[in-house]
Structure 1
Amino acid sequence: MTDGGTPRAPAPMRDLGQRIASAAALAFVVLAALWVGGLTFATMVGAIGVVVAWEWGRIVRQAGVDAIMIIQAIAVAAGVLLAAKGLAGLGFIAVVVAAIISALLAFGERGHMAALGALYAGLPAVALVWLNRGDAAGFLAVLFLLLTVWATDTGAYFAGRLIGGHRLMPSVSPNKTWSGLAGGIVAGGLVGLVFALARPELSARHMIIAGALLAVVSQAGDLLESALKREYGVKDASALIPGHGGFMDRIDGLAAAVIAAAIFAIAVDIQAPARALLGLN
């Protein structure tokens, strides 16, 4: 009860409501930017990448806006802009150079972790803009990635809650279960099936397998970020998103999925990455 006698929802339900509202608002902004495309989408991706660089610094270096963070922010912004202009190769190089400079500036046993911050913030951002080539295939490929990761998170959450069972990696994330992993994989495969049913030119077999594999990679990315936070004794990357923590806490799975998709696309057809991801080559 509140002080005025009005019943108050249980804390878990309030938290869930807050999480849903925040996730819906973020999804709307992301999808709207994707729909507009071009520099609008690139600007949004770059802005999130800059925030992720800042959050990584808070976790690993216990620092806010320092020289390393500024260098990484410039590299992320430059990399995304280059990718938007069709120069993704130079964009990736900018991020790698920032990683090397970060390692030199940090100097010592944590230098490699400073370098990883540049890669974690920059590579997925450049790759996402590179995949979204400004054509129909690019839009569809990025939409597929986003919806697959979001569905994976949702499927894993509800399957874990409803079914429960053995913990997946209790030393890293005590709330994740094998049933949640299975639920996420099924959800990812279903997204692929829906895309195939909606677009006859897409192979159902390819899309289902792609969705399921991306679901596995997405959940691995989630676990890696959990391991990082546990290593440094941090609960959330920041408090920027009500109910979710920081942007790193929201894009951990997407970052891993985007990198995996980019590697696959490079291996299949570097000139048409979106079509490669969708199995159209």
Structure 2
Amino acid sequence: MAGAEPGAGPAGGSNLKSRVIVGAFLAVIAIADIWVGGPAFTLMIGAGVGLVLWEWGAMHGTPQPWRIAGLAALAGACLMAHLGRPVPALLLLLGAILALLALSILLRAGGKRWISTGLAYAGLPAVSLIWLRGQPDGFALVMWTMGLVWATDILAYFAGRSIGGPKIWPAISPNKTWAGLLGGMAGAGAFSALFAHFAGWPQSLPLMALLGAGLAVVAQAGDFFESWLKRRAGVKDSGTLLKAHGGIMDRVDGLVPVACVVALWASQQRPADYVMRVTEMLA
């Protein structure tokens, strides 16, 4: 989804309008659930990554029992992350990934090995987002993460469509341009700096702008990876849940890697700790 730049055509306007409506609807639901947090947020993330894993399995022809085993591991990891135990959650994911991989090798079922990769693809961002929401400044952290991806999408779309120019990797994603990438980086960088300023985070604004621009590239990489997966599987969309707008994977391809990188960054920077200290000083 990150930086989608559909080509011009007679149906371009209606397609954009439809995408905006669907995107706005999903965004409102997501923001409300992020605000509520707690079990509701964990359930939303668990349901979302469960659908991602199911679509992943369908794309690779993975039998349902293998997908169900992956869903069970995902549910356990989400529960552990919700209980504030991200390390055991990651260890559970790792154990399930290795077990499924070993079983597929033992049974010489090469096609089923992809479920192990799918479990990592769905599980890592799930644990990351649930852990981020559980931090003292969790709402801001998750909204910043989501906002970065949305800013990348929107600015990349309009920059790529209005400027055009050379394609980045036409064999994988024929509509992505360098102009769109730069537009997405500029949008994400500006959003990141403004958000950090109003959230009261202690990092310098130039640093936050650079971080936002870098994460825009990460979001684009996630988009290219999913495009490669679909071309490899010979499908146009990851699924049909959203009808003409594809599947859940098509909507979260940029968020998957960004959530993981943000969680890694936050675990080292802990901006929430600084915000809590400032709040205590002012109280």
Give the deviation of 1:102 after TM superposition: 2.5
Q: Give the equivalent residue in structure 1 for 2:281.
A: none
Residue identity in the other structure for 1:172: I
Cα distance change of structure 1 residues 130 and 200 upon mapping to structure 2, 3 Å threshold? closer
Contact 1:189-1:209 at 8 Å conserved across structures: yes
Does 2:89 correspond to 1:88?
A: no
TM-score by length of 2: 0.87
Please give the secondary structure, in 2, of the residue aligned with 1:220. Answer: helix
In the TM superposition, what whole-angstrom CA distance separates every residue of 1:209-231 from its partner, at most 9, and x where no partner exists?
22111111011111011011111
Deviations 1:127-181 (A, max 9, x none): 110111252x211111100001011011111111100000001111000000011
Contact 1:19 1:242 in 2 (8 A): no
Q: Is it true that 1:73 corresponds to 2:74 in the alignment?
A: no
Q: Which amino acid aligns with 1:138?
A: G
Look up the match of 1:5: none
Q: Structure 2 matches for 1:117-156, cutoff 5 A?
A: 117-135=118-136, 137-156=137-156
Alignment of 1:167-186 (within 5 A): 167-186=167-186
Q: Which structure 2 residues correspond to residues 158-237 of structure 1 after superposition, within 5 A?
A: 158-202=158-202, 203-237=204-238
Q: Percent identity?
A: 40
CA contact (8 A) 2:52 2:249 kept: yes
Question: Take 2:60 and 2:42, find their aligned partners in 1: how far apart are those partners?
Answer: 27
- The 1:263–1:201 alpha-carbon spacing in structure 2 relative to 1, beyond 3 Å, is closer
8 Å CA contact 1:46, 1:76 repeated in 2:
yes
The C-alpha deviation readout for 1:181-234, integer Å capped at 9, x for no partner, is: 101100100111221332344431232122111111011111011011111111
Paired with 2:19 and 2:272, the residues of 1 have a C-alpha distance of 31
Any idea what SS the aligned residue of 2:253 has? helix
Instruction: Indicate if the aligned counterparts of 1:39 and 1:84 stay in contact, CA closer than 8 A.
Output: yes
Kindly report which structure 2 residues correspond to 1:231-246, keeping only aligned pairs within 5 A, or say none.
Answer: 231-246=232-247
Q: Report the TM-score when normalising by structure 1.
A: 0.87
Aligned position for 2:56? 56
Q: Distance in 2 between matches of 1:201 and 1:26?
A: 28
Taking structure 1 as reference, are residues 53 and 200 closer, same or farther at Cα in structure 2, changes over 3 Å only? closer
The residue that corresponds to 2:3 in the other structure is: none
Q: Give the structure 1 partner of residue 111 of structure 2.
A: 110
Kindly indicate whether structure 1 or structure 2 has the higher relative contact order, using CA contacts under 8 Å at least 6 residues apart: 2
Inter-partner Cα distance in structure 2 for 1:105 and 1:21 = 44
Give ranges in structure 1 of 5+ residues lacking alignment. 1-8
Bigger mean CA deviation after superposition, 66-75 or 180-189: 66-75
Q: How many corresponding residue pairs?
A: 263
CA root-mean-square deviation: 2.0
| Structure 2 Cα separation of the partners of residues 109 and 242 of structure 1 | 31
* 2:152–2:184 CA contact under 8 A, matched in 1: yes
- The amino acid across from 1:11 in the alignment is A
Question: Where does structure 1 differ by over 6 angstroms across 4 or more consecutive aligned residues?
Answer: none
